[in-house]
């Protein structure tokens, strides 16, 4: 099988050769990696296909809520599945969440402080809970405004009003928080540029693989 192929259960996806001892030593690590990564790729592809079938043209992304020590594998699975991996680590983009904002006293202060440290080269994603907070974030220079846990008609109308009110300002709108397959179509509206979810990698069912050793004819 080629990377990213969609397939029904088959008897063989790959052949590995080597001495039996070494194959057995690496078996469980390899199968765990393959099972976890394939499960995430499958879930990511399903999210992408559902959103595209609903007419959504924006970016679908995972989150940084990955398994400690396993981030590279899980982010790779998202990419193979056809979605965006979002941030790989804290240096990829500045993200200001509620605790950062609280510790600085306001969204404006948090953005100023972070911009002084991060400089011009890093994008800044700011989590907001209300339309008023979104206005403050845009005014203070946020590159991405995350409308956290907004749903349904509220999400749609807030996004439309922000775009109209700030038509001369360049920014992206992101929706996040509690997104799964049941409400994906409700959140995947084209007024939103980015849809980010941890449902593509947290508590995702693994794809079952096994390794069967066969004696080589040459031996």
CATH number of the domain bearing residue 64: 3.20.20.70
Asked if residue 149 has pLDDT above 90, the reply is no
**pLDDT value at residue 215:** 80
**pLDDT value at residue 59:** 97
pLDDT confidence band for 11 (50 / 70 / 90): confident
Kindly name the residue from 2, 11, 43, 65 that is annotated as catalytic: 65
The proportion of the chain whose per-residue pLDDT surpasses 70, expressed as a percent, equals 99
pTM of the predicted structure, to 2 decimals: 0.88
Domain housing 103: 31-196
Asked if residue 88 has pLDDT above 90, the reply is no
Number of domains in the chain: 1
Asked if residue 113 has pLDDT above 80, the reply is yes
Of the listed ranges 49-63, 148-162, 203-217, the least confidently predicted one is: 203-217
Average pLDDT over every residue of 66-75: 91
Helix, strand, coil distribution of the chain in percent, nearest 5: 40, 10, 45
- The mean predicted confidence, pLDDT, of the chain is 92
CA–CA dist 184, 64 (Å, integer): 19
CA–CA dist 144, 195 (Å, integer): 12
Neighbour-count burial for 15-53, b at 16+ CB within 10 Å, e otherwise: eeeeeeeeeeeeeeeeeeebbbbbbbbbbbbebbeebee
- Decide if 139 is inside a domain: yes
- Decide if 202 is inside a domain: no
Of the listed ranges 5-14, 108-117, 135-144, the least confidently predicted one is: 5-14
Average pLDDT over every residue of 146-158: 94
Instruction: Tally DSSP H helices, then E strands, for the chain.
Output: 7, 6
Average pLDDT over every residue of 188-208: 93
Q: CA distances (Å), 116 to each of 38, 122, 126, 137, in order?
A: 40, 11, 15, 16
Is 112 part of the annotated catalytic residue set?
Answer: no
**pLDDT value at residue 218:** 61
Write a three-state SS string for 135-154.
HHHHHHCCCEEEEECCCHHH
* Tens of pLDDT, residues 116-142: 999 888 999 999 999 999 999 999 999
- Decide if 13 is inside a domain: no
CA pseudo-torsion sign 154, 103, 178, 65: positive
- Decide if 181 is inside a domain: yes
- Decide if 1 is inside a domain: no
CA–CA dist 191, 58 (Å, integer): 9
Can you give the C-alpha Rg of the chain in angstroms?
21
Asked if 179 contacts 197 with a C-beta cutoff of 8 angstroms, the reply is yes
- Decide if 149 is inside a domain: yes
- Decide if 68 is inside a domain: yes
CA–CA dist 146, 159 (Å, integer): 11
pLDDT confidence band for 210 (50 / 70 / 90): very high
- Decide if 156 is inside a domain: yes
Asked if residue 219 has pLDDT above 60, the reply is no
**pLDDT value at residue 90:** 81
pLDDT confidence band for 8 (50 / 70 / 90): confident
């Amino acid at each position: 099988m080629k990377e990213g192929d969609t397939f029904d259960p088959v008897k063989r996806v790959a052949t590995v050769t080597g001495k039996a001892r070494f194959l057995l030593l690496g078996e469980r690590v390899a199968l765990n990696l393959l099972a976890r990564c394939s499960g995430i790729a499958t879930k990511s592809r399903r999210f992408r296909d559902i959103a595209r079938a609903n007419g959504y043209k924006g970016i679908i992304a995972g989150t940084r809520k990955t398994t400690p020590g396993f981030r590279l594998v899980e982010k790779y699975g998202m990419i193979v599945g056809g979605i965006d991996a979002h941030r790989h680590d804290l240096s990829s983009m500045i993200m200001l969440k509620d605790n950062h904002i609280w510790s600085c006293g306001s969204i404006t202060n948090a953005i100023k402080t972070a911009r002084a440290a991060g400089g011009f080269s890093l994008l800044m994603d700011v989590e907001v809970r209300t339309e008023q907070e979104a206005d403050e974030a845009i005014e203070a220079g946020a590159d991405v405004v995350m409308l956290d846990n907004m749903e349904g008609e509220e999400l749609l109308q807030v996004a439309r009003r922000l775009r109209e009110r700030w038509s001369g300002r360049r920014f992206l709108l992101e929706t996040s928080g509690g997104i799964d397959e049941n409400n994906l179509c409700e959140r995947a509206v084209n007024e939103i540029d980015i849809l980010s979810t941890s449902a593509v990698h947290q508590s995702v069912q693994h794809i079952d693989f096994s390794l069967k050793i066969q004696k080589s004819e040459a031996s």
